[in-house]
Structure formats: C-alpha cells, structure tokens
Structure 1
Amino acid sequence: MTALFADLLGQDPAVTLLAAALRRQRLAPAYLFTGPEGVGRRLAALRFLEGVIAGPEGEPAVRRRLEAGNHPDVLWVEPTYLDKGQLVPASQALERGVNRRSPPQLRLEQIREVSRFLARRPVEAPGCLVVLEQVEAMAEAPANALLKTLEEPGGGMLLLISASPEQLLSTIHSRCQRVRFGRLPAESLARVLASAPPPAVADTEELLALAAGSPGALLAHRQQWQSLPEGLVDRLLSLPMAADPFEALALARDLTEALDAEQQLWLLTWWQLALWRTLRQPAVLQRLERLRSHLLSYVQPRLAWEVALLELAGLGG
C-alpha cells in the first residue's frame, strides 16, 4: 500500500488499482466507486484526487485544501433537498431545518453545473475534477444529462460514488472504470473505530447488525441512537400485542413530535430488526413495511404511526 492511501484500511484491491493508475499515469476519464456506505469510498476519492493533482506520493497542502473543500479544480456534488426554491445539500439539511420526508436527489441543475465546470480551464490540476456522491439518486432527466457528460468529459475526470450501482443506467456503467469496495474485516473495523470517539453506551446487537461491517455506518447509527429521546425506545419495545390504545396513540404523538422524517425512518428500521430478533413474526414486519411506505409518501406521519401502532396492538381493522 502506498503512503498516499495509508489511512484507507481494509480496501487493498481498490488501493492497488488506484495506485497503479496514478503511478503509470493511465487515468480513465470516469470512475465508478461502488460498495456499502461507510467503508472508505469517500476517503479513497479524496486521496485519489490528491494523487491526480499532486502526483502519486501526494502533497500535504493539496490534501488540506481537498479536505476543506476549497480546491479550485474540484467540484464535489451531493444529493440535495428542494426547500423554498433553493437546493440544500443533504449534509446541510439538518442544520438548516429542511423537511427530510422525501430522500434527497441529484438534480438536473446540478448535472448541468457539472458540465459547465468540466468545460473550464483548470488552475492547478491536469484537468477539472468532479465527484458525484450517491449517484444513483437521480431521476431520468439528470441521468440522461450525466450520460451525455460522460460521453464528452473534455479533459476532465468524473468520480461517481454509489452504494446501489444496479440502479444506474447500463450505459453509465459502460463509460466508467469500476472500483469495488467491500465491507471491512473485523481487524480493520476495530482499527477504524479505535480512532473514533467511544460510544456513550455500549453498541447494541441491533446497531452492530445494521452496520454490517461498515465503520462509517456504525458511527452514523450511533449518532441516530444517541439522538433519540429518553424512554422512547423502551415504550416501543414494551408495546404488547394487546396494548392500551391510549398508550399507542400517545406514543405516535410523542414520536412524530420529537423526531423528523429521517429519524422516524431510521427508528423504524431499528425497530423492525429488534422485533424480528424477539418475536419473529413475519406479519409484524410486513405491517411495519407498510408503515415505511406511508412515511415515504404523502400520508400524514402521525396518522400513519397511529394506525400502525393500533393495528400492531390488535385494535385496528
């Protein structure tokens, strides 16, 4: 492993491929980084861009600028929410109080910006460089626009990052060199987590199962877990199959008042796993999947939770 990629753990095949491309200066016009969330794809993209700009050994000054997001020849694009006529990056949505009921998307305006950026003259790099995160989060129009950009990237380079490459057009696949990232083995996972702040409480079996070998995912799940109001999880877990209807309704009220849409969906996923580990009743999981579909649509969240909790308590129709 080269010094440039020294902090990218557990991804030797990807590192070997990227380091060889930098060393031989045989760079593709587009790459597709695939693999689970939180296993190092974003870090690999940063280090690879550093190598493209500064050479195979990298350069600390370039690294600092890339990590700060202020290099003039790099455009980093992530899915956005549409809020009051403005596109808000997913990473800023919570801070800006954006409604996160529907998932963020890469939009046509963003892909057009990518095309304009690639047409610029670079300042320091060999060409302009673009990273697209969650590239599968596109509707048909931006996907077709991206395909045209991939067909004529000029002297620039695109790095596409995707956890669900099967959702991409096959023609997008064919125009990219694919770099695969896998889940980390136990040793590498432990090394990554050792550098992170320790959890406030021990990780539950459900959190570890949800992470499935991804340190980034485990850190994100810890954050979600720690943000839950005290007592809410206990009330969910203690909701029996013959619960008091007033408790079911109160729980739906408190849950929707305390949690935004994204937190509700995360809690639902956790609850499904916890119930399966204890009850193993497929009908319960199927009802929760219906609840998920309602939360992702335009059903009023509190009503969706009320009906689901009442039905799970054996009180609904």
Structure 2
Amino acid sequence: MKTIISHQDNLSFLINAAKKNRIASAYLFTGRKGVGKFTVAKSFANTLTKNPMADIHIVAPTYTEDGEILTIEEAFEKGLNKRTKPVIRIEQIRDLDGFISRRPLGISNNYGFPSKNIVIIDDCQELKEDSMNALLKNLEEPGAHTVFILVASGKVSDTISSRCQVLNFSRLSKENLLEIAKINFLDINDNILNICDGSYGDAIAIKAVLEEVPEQIICSASTIPTKVIDCLQIARDISALSSSQQIVLMEYAVSMIWMTYFNMGFVTIFNDSINKLKSGMQSRLTLEALYLSLLNT
C-alpha cells in the first residue's frame, strides 16, 4: 500500500488480511470526514488487483438535473447551485450488477492471490432508502470475486454495518496534519490546525475560504475593538461576506483571539455568536452585539 500518514493499526490489519488472502466481502470505514478513509480505501483496493482501471468501481453521491445524474464535480463545472444535499441513487447501485457479476480482469493481486472486483462507496451515509435496500442484497450475496468498501462520515444503518467488517478512523494529530501538508506543499498555520478538528480535508477547505477574505477583515475580526464605531465597522465588513465565509472566519478569529489574549471570556462570547450565526440569526445584528459586548469585557 502507498505511504499513508496515521491509521497504522487499520493499515496493518488490512495488509495482513491481503497477505493471508483473508479478505472480508465488505468493509465499512467510519470516522470524521477528511481524515483519510477514502485514501486508505483506494490504496487497499489497489492491492487487491493489478488492473485497477478495470477492477475498481467508485460510487459517490450525485445530483440530478433534467433527468441526468451528475457527480458533484460535474455539477460544479456546469455552474449549478444546488441547495439540496447530493445522494447515492438506486440507479447507481443497480449499475453495479454487471460489474460485480463478471470475473476480475486482473489475473492476480499484489500478493499473488486472485484479483477482486472492488466497489468503493464514498459517503455511504448518503444512501437513499431504496438505494440502501438494493445495496443490502449485494452485501448479502456479494459473490466470491467482489469486495465492497463503504466509506462513511455519518450515521450508517445497523443493517448495513452488521454486514461489514467495521474499521474506525480517528482524527489526525497536529503532527500528522503538518506532515501531510508538507508532503502536499500546503502551508497551514496553527489557527487552521486548531479549528480543523483533526481533518485534513477541513484544513484545505478552511484555507481556501480564508484566501477569499481580505486580510484586513481577517485582522479586524480577530482583534478586540476599543471604540463603538470600530465595532460597527467590523460587523458591517464581516456581514458582507457569505454565510459560510462568516462562520469560517469567526471560528478562525476565536483561535487567534485565544492565542493572543488567553481569555476564556472572549472565547465564550465568540462561540455564542458563532452558534447564533449557524442557527440563521441575522448576521449583522449578531456581530454588532458581539463586538460591542467585547468593549465591556
């Protein structure tokens, strides 16, 4: 398997299973999004066949537009602004029938045993009910040549998990995050590390959001104002951002505030305001109240 940072217990378990040809018919990788589950799934799949282009089939949540099923990437490329969550549809599960019924095209895997057909289902917590029922039939009768690897960052039904070998993936340590970032030539600072909650995927997303926010707004959001007019200006600037940018910025500001002032009172006030923003409360009023309250703290 390729070099992977962290999750060594899970990696050792999977490698030993492959070496001894004791492969389960289905695995379920659980844990926080962005910690490397899908990366491990792809790497493990590559050890089970020498013909990955033909013998690995990946299923992920999709959108529909005018009757056409679109991946998340395809929807983005078409400029579609979808408000609903992408889901895994029954058509995607039915499309697996031909794949899992044939013999693998690879003759052997990396350890000399017969190749497998590998189905990776990413974000399987997004299975629609009819899709889940269709998948259950495949999990109950997978065939000798097929391995399912389900990847989940949310709740999966017991009927699915009970048919799988379950491996839990923990959050990444700060050291792991920095090592992965270095390998990928990504510069992430301590404040991003503090708020990404052990998820490299979130660290990338946070950095991307912050790069769209003017540096002056980031600085002012992370300082304690001394004048009422400054409080109102900061609130005005932040409320002009998108709601997702506001939340990321304020979470980043909490980390900067703590590392600058080491004042739990400030942190509590910020966190209360962030929760209000997440609940949909009017952002400008919420932010004005936040920064005005700091004047008296």
Instruction: Provide the rounded CA distance (Å) in 2 between the counterparts of 1:113 and 1:307.
Output: 50
1:97 aligned onto 2:79: yes
Which residue identity lines up with residue 183 of structure 2 in the other structure?
A: S
Which residue identity lines up with residue 181 of structure 2 in the other structure?
A: L
Residue 168 of structure 1: SS of its match in structure 2? coil
Q: Counterpart of 1:156?
A: 146
| Match of residue 271, structure 1, among 234, 250, 254 | 250
Q: Counterpart of 1:212?
A: 197
Instruction: Provide the rounded CA distance (Å) in 1 between the counterparts of 2:221 and 2:85.
Output: 25
Q: Counterpart of 1:169?
A: 157
When normalised by structure 2's length, the TM-score is 0.75
Q: CA RMSD in A?
A: 3.4
Q: Counterpart of 2:131?
A: 142
1:225 aligned onto 2:210: yes
Larger Rg: 2
Which residue identity lines up with residue 98 of structure 1 in the other structure?
A: L
Instruction: Provide the rounded CA distance (Å) in 1 between the counterparts of 2:174 and 2:237.
Output: 42
Q: Counterpart of 1:203?
A: 189
Q: Aligned pair in 2 of structure 1 residues 235, 148: CA closer, same or farther (>3 Å)? A: farther
Q: Aligned pair in 2 of structure 1 residues 108, 291: CA closer, same or farther (>3 Å)? A: farther
Which residue identity lines up with residue 141 of structure 2 in the other structure?
A: E
Moved more, 88-97 or 71-80: 88-97
Q: Counterpart of 1:80?
A: 62
Q: CA deviation at 1:89?
A: 1.9
Q: Aligned pair in 2 of structure 1 residues 191, 289: CA closer, same or farther (>3 Å)? A: closer
Q: Counterpart of 1:298?
A: none
Instruction: Provide the rounded CA distance (Å) in 2 between the counterparts of 1:224 and 1:289.
Output: 19
Q: Aligned pair in 2 of structure 1 residues 121, 227: CA closer, same or farther (>3 Å)? A: farther
Residue 149 of structure 2: SS of its match in structure 1? strand
Q: Counterpart of 1:36?
A: 32
Q: Conserved in 1, the CA contact under 8 Å of 2:30 and 2:167?
A: yes
When normalised by structure 1's length, the TM-score is 0.71
Instruction: Provide the rounded CA distance (Å) in 2 between the counterparts of 1:172 and 1:84.
Output: 31
Q: Counterpart of 2:99?
A: 117
Q: Aligned pair in 2 of structure 1 residues 204, 187: CA closer, same or farther (>3 Å)? A: closer
Q: Counterpart of 1:280?
A: 267
Q: Conserved in 1, the CA contact under 8 Å of 2:119 and 2:147?
A: yes
Moved more, 271-280 or 98-107: 271-280
Specify every segment of 5 or more residues in structure 2 that has no aligned partner in the other structure, as ranges: 108-114, 293-297
Q: CA deviation at 1:176?
A: 0.5
Residue 204 of structure 2: SS of its match in structure 1? helix
| Match of residue 18, structure 1, among 14, 22, 27 | 14
Q: CA deviation at 1:28?
A: 0.9
